[in-house]
Chain A
Amino acid sequence: MTVARTATAEQVGKYLASLLRGRQDVSELHVLQSSGVIELWLIVSPGSIGAEFELHSMQRRLLQQFPEQSIDLRIHDVSRLGISGVSASVPHNAIQIEI
């Protein structure tokens, strides 16, 4: 099913959360409506490069579900976030979506 033409960042985030529910390798999801683009940050801890690559299929799922939107999903491995952690990689005004 394809949803309404103009989805909000929160709607896109909740759709992604529904796809990820129950996964042990996903910890946080944040969304932000920017100028013309819905941005999402997914914080993950995949067990392998292959598992990380597979998570990037979510980019395709979102674009297919919301065909009228520009969507930009970033997937960040928590082990690579450095000492400043999630706060360094996600804008302070992004909204966290429960998974």
Chain B
Amino acid sequence: MEFDDHRDAAAADRNLTIARYLLENRLDRLGSPAYEWVVIVSFYSAVRCINAWIQLKHDRPPVNHGERFRAILNDPALQELLEQDSLLRSWSEQARYTSPASAFSFDHASMALQFAQSIRDHVRSTDESV
């Protein structure tokens, strides 16, 4: 199976599109931009993308964040993504459980989307080169 054919890759792309719409504030009925949701959706794009890669290359996806971090570090194709994935995970968890919406600014949202997109681009380009 090619990376782009994996269902998690399709989910990652859909999440990237949702994050982009949120960043552009297309949900105009909200009183303020949903930057916290840009962070959350960007993180889940990264998770689905990385899980797809790990499942295709190592036959099983990680079952928790600890396993995913370990798999990222141990895979030469992924290891440069570790800090980006770790930051996205922490921001996403804070956005979902503890932070007020105002805790995440346009800069946070832009960086989260940029990281998720770069993870997607990196994995796709790596898949094409092997």
Give the interface of A toward B (CB within 8 A). 36-39, 49, 52-53, 56-57, 59-60, 63-64, 70-77, 79-82, 84, 88-89
Contacts and interface: CB of A to CB of B under 8 A. Distances in A.
A20 to B, nearest CB: 16
The B contact surface, by secondary structure, is helix
Contacts of B93: 74, 76, 89
Contact of A80 (B65, B86, B98): B98
7 contacts: A56-B87, A56-B90, A63-B82, A71-B70, A77-B94, A80-B103, A88-B98
A59 B98 contact: no
Contacts of B103: 77, 79-80, 82
Report the 8 A-B pairs with minimum CB-CB distance, sorted nearest first. Answer: A70-B66, A37-B66, A72-B66, A80-B103, A80-B99, A56-B86, A56-B83, A59-B86
B54 interface: no
Contacts of A57: 83
Contact of B98 (A64, A71, A84): A84
B108 interface: yes
Contacts of A74: 89-90, 93
B67 A70 contact: yes
A88 B97 contact: yes
Nearest to A42: B90
Given A53-B87, A59-B82, A81 B66 contact: no
B89 A82 contact: no
B78 interface: no
Contacts of A36: 64, 66
B83 A59 contact: yes
B111 A49 contact: yes
A63 B79 CA distance: 11
